[in-house]
Amino acid sequence: MDLQKLIRDIPDFPKKGIIFKDITTLLKNPAGLNDAAEQILALVKDLGITKVAGIESRGFILGGLLAARLQAGFIPIRKPKKLPAPVYSESYDLEYGTDTIEMHKDAITAGDIVLLHDDLLATGGTAKAACNIIEKAGGKIVHISFIIELAFLHGKDKLQGYEISSLIKYDGE
């Protein structure tokens, strides 16, 4: 199935000059949703994954589904102040300023085999911060899966050494 046909381009969102790749048109299509999950599962099903970590918010949508299908646990990586128990925090640079993500300290334990999932690989800052947090907790990241990769932003450069997949890749702006 050509999932790219289910992605909608939204010009000038969230700001002028950006063409936003909208995955909601894929998610609302039952065959598209199912095929996206199956394509990721085909890549990771034999890796012995024990936890799937999804990045808030869109990484939760397939994250929970992938965890259930892999008979793994689901771990939310969230924006600051959302998680109620003690957390590991990690900050990362944005174009202007910084952002922070958090994960419960007891979400992942030493020996956990982790799939990290998010909807979009752009500059890679969020994913790299998530890797740092997961490894601080003792998890081993065996795969990072994205729905969309904006290859022209070179996010993979920040994630060297990890096995990475994306279902849809855009090479130019």
**Distance in Å, CB of 60 to its own copies, minimum:** 4
Contacts of 99 (CB under 8 A, 6+ apart): 91, 92, 125, 126
Cα-to-chain-centroid distance, residue 18: 21
Q: Does residue 95 have an active-site annotation?
A: yes
Of residues 22 through 51, those in contact with its own copies by CB under 8 A are: 22, 24, 27-30, 33-34, 37, 50-51
C-alpha separations of 24 from 8, 57, 58, 61 in Å: 8, 13, 10, 11
**Distance in Å, CB of 51 to its own copies, minimum:** 7
**Distance in Å, CB of 23 to its own copies, minimum:** 9
Among 7, 107, 114, 127, binds its own copies (CB under 8 A): 107
| Neighbour-count burial of 14, counting CB atoms closer than 10 A to its CB (0-12 exposed, 13-18 middle, 19+ buried) | exposed
Our finding on whether 94 is near its own copies (CB under 8 A) is no
Our finding on whether 142 is near its own copies (CB under 8 A) is no
Toward its own copies, which CB reaches closer, 10 or 154? 10
Our finding on whether 139 is near its own copies (CB under 8 A) is no
Token pair recorded at residue 69 = 């299908």
| Neighbour-count burial of 56, counting CB atoms closer than 10 A to its CB (0-12 exposed, 13-18 middle, 19+ buried) | middle
Our finding on whether 141 is near its own copies (CB under 8 A) is no
Cβ pair 26, 41 in contact under 8 A: no
Among 7, 44, 62, 101, binds its own copies (CB under 8 A): 62
Active-site residue set: 58, 95
